Amino acid sequence: MNRFQKVFILFSIFSLSSCSSLGWLKFWDGDEEEEGPTELYAISDNRELDREWSVSNGNDISYGRLIPAVYDGTVFYINSLGYISAVDLDTGNLQWSKNTQDIVSTGLDVNFKTISYGTLDGSIVALDHADGKEIWRSSTSSESLSPPANSGSHLIIQTIDGRVAGYELKTGKRDWFHQTVLPSLTLRGTSRPFVNQGFVFTGFASGKVAMIYPDSGAIRLELPVAVNEGKSELERIIDIDGKPIIVDNTLIAASYQGSITAINLRDGRPSWQEEISTVKDLTSNGNRVIAVDSKDIVKAFGTATGAIIWEQDDLKLRKLTSPASISNLVVVGDAEGYVHLLNAKSGNFEGREKVSRNAITEIISKGNYLLVADTAGRVQKFSVK
């Protein structure tokens, strides 16, 4: 046995016998094992989902939030490869479809007889809602990852470079833009603009929500939801990517690694604030605002005081959708294709159903029904029994 072989054997024996003492050298891993999704347990189904129809749109890859839109008795959906379908809300029968050839990154908005969406290469597109005929397309400053908003006079879209721009609804001419200063590090996502009380509301990576005049782009108010107080660049990420809500003239918005904050729109002053980290949309049910935090714990806050009414942590790390509200229920979907029904007053489980072999990506509620979309581009309509 030569000298090299002896050294190799001695090193191997040392390594095997003292691997525990060298554990501190594993700087590439954390001290704790990675936590997995919570296992589901059996529940009593007090409420059930009744599937009314199911439509497959196909979707090989997803670039942004592909949210179904409902307008004039029709459900509209577009996949990332630009295939758009319009189906009858009551029957699920296809009314028309079109392959736009666009790589879509935002999903749809449908209002004022106009379909609109954004593309991965930086365009905003307007189509006729009756047949999908293109009306116009215009260039944006960058890509967007959430649907535009329609004020009736302008289409408003937010792009990942921190810009919100307004395009004339009839012609596509850009009339205005508002540019925000982005932090050094941000999440990959954009808040979804929405129109309420004659203003456009949208959140930014700076942890602020802007209240904007849709015709001019002038800022009415810029409201801080979270404050940048972290020690490192990572800890200072406080993006608002989820859609805020307005309840009784109070804006409620939440940020990543920040807060959920209620702000009185009359004077721009905060009514209450609680800690949370989330990138999901908010919803309300009665006198509660519902949020899903970054660990997929569902929380209900009192809309008047911000007091935590309940927490449901039995769905932790299951990659939940944004919450939807229907009747006295809160509804979320997960990565294994389950839809969960929670009691809005207590947070207890009222029902659960596996509706897809794919992950659920979006759930929206309209009236007494739900629309559920998954990663395969399938949209299903359910009523709750």
More confident residue, 206 or 284: 284
- pLDDT, the chain, mean: 89
pLDDT category of residue 331 using cuts at 50, 70 and 90: very high
pLDDT category of residue 369 using cuts at 50, 70 and 90: very high
Angle at 274 between CA 341 and CA 246, to 5 degrees: 65
Supply the pLDDT for residue 59.
73
What are the structure tokens assigned to 16, written together? 């095997």
CA distance 358 to 209: 34
Residues 6+ apart with CB under 8 A from 302: 287, 288, 289, 309
In a domain, residue 119? The reply is: yes
Please say whether the beta carbons of 384 and 329 come within 8 A.
Answer: yes
pLDDT category of residue 33 using cuts at 50, 70 and 90: low
More confident residue, 353 or 31: 353
In a domain, residue 121? The reply is: yes
pLDDT category of residue 247 using cuts at 50, 70 and 90: very high
In a domain, residue 21? The reply is: no
In three-state secondary structure terms, 5 is helix
State how many domains the chain has: 1
Question: Is the per-residue pLDDT at 118 higher than 60?
Answer: yes
Please say whether the beta carbons of 53 and 92 come within 8 A.
Answer: yes
H or E element that contains 288: strand 288-292
CA distance 277 to 260: 8
- CA dihedral of 219, 221, 226, 232, whole degrees rounded to 10: 30
Distances (CA, A) of 33 to 18, 30, 36, 368: 21, 7, 9, 43
Supply the pLDDT for residue 23.
37
In a domain, residue 193? The reply is: no
CA distance 185 to 235: 10
In a domain, residue 323? The reply is: no
Position 252: which residue type?
Answer: I
Residue 105: give the domain boundaries.
61-179
140-176 confidence digits (pLDDT tens): 999 999 999 999 999 999 999 989 999 999 999 999 9
In a domain, residue 147? The reply is: yes
CATH of the domain at 66: 2.40.128.630
81-113 confidence digits (pLDDT tens): 999 999 999 999 999 999 999 999 998 999 999
In a domain, residue 319? The reply is: no
The pTM is what?
A: 0.87
- Which among 286, 280, 272, 228 is positioned nearest to 254, based on CA atoms? 280
CA distance 201 to 327: 26
172-198 confidence digits (pLDDT tens): 999 999 998 876 667 777 889 999 999
Supply the pLDDT for residue 254.
94
In a domain, residue 223? The reply is: no
Residue 317 is classified by DSSP as: T
Supply the pLDDT for residue 21.
34
Question: Is the per-residue pLDDT at 19 higher than 60?
Answer: no
CA distance 375 to 357: 10
pLDDT category of residue 240 using cuts at 50, 70 and 90: confident
338-367 confidence digits (pLDDT tens): 999 999 999 999 999 999 999 999 999 988
In three-state secondary structure terms, 10 is helix
